Amino acid sequence: MFLRRLSLLLVPACAAWLGCGEAPPSEEVNPPEITMDPREGTAVISSDEFLPGCGEADGGTGPVDAGTSVLVTADTRFHSSAGVTVVPQDLSGRDVELLIPNGIDFERRTGTPVAGGLRFDDVPDGEYFLRSNRSYYLTRERHFDLGVNRIGRPDAVYVPVTESPVSAELFNLEPWQQYTSYTEPGTALEVVSADVDVYSSLGSLSEPAAGDTSFVDPEAAAYFSTAYGAPVLDASRGDRLYVNQLNSTVVGTLPSGGPLAYQSVVSSAHLPSFSFTPDGTTSLPLAATLAPVRQTPFSLEWRLSEFSRWRTDSNPTGTINLSSMSLLPAPFGYQHGWVGYQGELFNLWLPRGEDGVIASRFAYGNPYPSSWGVVGTISYSFRSATPVVVGSRTHYPSGNIFITDRMDHLIAGPIQPGISPPRELRIDGVDAYVPRVVGTNQPVISWRAPAMRAPRNYVVSVLQLISTYAATPTLRFYVPGDRTQVRLPPGLLLPGTNYYVRVTADDSPNYEPSRAPYVTAELLPAVSADTFSAVFTTP
């Protein structure tokens, strides 16, 4: 369902802690069930069947009292060739709490483990933040779904290994290409599988020479990028791997005068099923003769100038950063959106600062079954003109304009933004695009709505600038599109620390962070645009 609007009766309280804009209408918006694929438009099951809503709770918990209780569940939905298998998760150790507004502060509530999830009792009617780790979701829901989608069979076993040695014997490759530049990366090898949840790139210290058609290396390496580690392959369960080769092709000239090049899958092998348990020491055996992959041509008109014109809204002093387009497989079709990451079929990377219009003919290779879909993603980014150095790390505050959709929808007409960035970002009422020391560790972040399109949701991200190359610690606040202000809860920002803020305007028609943030985030289409601040320092 769509985000419920705040009742007029709640506006005075809301204004004190969240900073509502104009008062919304008092009636709730109650749209029909989802009967279309929320990211592309094919028929799917109803939202109450696939994305749990209010009413009778799952897992034998009994009914959720709409006046006093909140039930939080987190099913994992495993997608495979056999369909979707739903596995309830135990939330007893999950870092989840409710923050109920109380003036400019919040009353914090912890839940009680019940069959199927966590139950929060005596929750008053109205809005609250549900916090899961470092993400805060503003909602009124009495049943909140933290469930996720995954690829592969539900009984697969994963081990905490991020890198594995590989004994590679790959033949009949397309002629090997050396790396030329960021926009012409040459040859890449990837390993994927939809039988288990895995994506891996292949690396080697002894790369083949230009023009070679084989890759034989007993000391290659696989780098697993999933959050779940490396899968245990089981031949008795039919676990198979794809090995794909990608090469670069030059097709013309960029508006700036450089070569217009792209990378696509050119050859592939689908290995027979075999068993393997990654342990970081035993080599993964990859022996195959690859076959050429048919190239499917397509035409593209990407109006970069329609993205670059929003630079000053993203940040008045920002510069045009790197931009890219990728085509990716959608395993098992579009009915549940773009589920799982299985590598790329096509990549187009543009140099920093590229503007104008790209109109050309390209091609991509697709080794997967015809029942799979193809999804296109567009990213056009801006960044600060001045870096900020913290310890040994250099930071550039940045923001993006994103589009993700079915490939055929994405290229049906000129590619241009679906929404523009929010504007006039402020911290405690002061221009946030100018570096400064803020006066409090509980600042109010405010902004104006985008000039183009009214968003359905905003995401306010507070990013901490750190001295190491670990993942950037980020707090995220998800609020409805009728809000233009958020006061941070107390105790979140560290004293004497550098941060910057990014506010995302999201107009994805089926994204519902107030009810099911993870599974609905994968529904198509997805469109968003960011504004980002300068660095600020807490007192």
Kindly write down the DSSP assignment for every residue of 6-48, as one continuous string: PPGGGHHHHHHHT-B-SPPPSSPP-PPPP-S-TTT------HH
State pLDDT tens for residues 507-516.
Answer: 999 999 999 9
How far is the C-alpha of 133 from the C-alpha of 75, rounded, in Å? 17
pTM listed for this prediction? 0.86
Q: Measured between alpha carbons, how far is residue 419 from residues 22, 70, 416 in Å?
A: 21, 33, 9
Query: Average pLDDT per run of 10 along the chain, which is 539 residues long?
Result: 23 36 28 28 28 34 61 96 93 94 91 93 95 98 96 95 96 97 96 94 93 97 89 97 98 96 98 97 97 97 98 98 97 93 96 97 97 97 97 97 98 98 98 97 97 98 96 97 96 97 98 98 97 98
Q: In the 8-state DSSP scheme, what is residue 422?
A: P
Segments making up each domain of the chain, as ranges: 8-151, 156-293
Q: Which residues contact 81 (CB under 8 A, 6 or more apart)?
A: 194, 332
What is the pLDDT at residue 191? 97
State pLDDT tens for residues 92-103.
Answer: 989 999 999 988
What is the pLDDT at residue 8? 22
Token reading at 306: 């329609």
Token reading at 116: 């199927």
What is the pLDDT at residue 93? 87
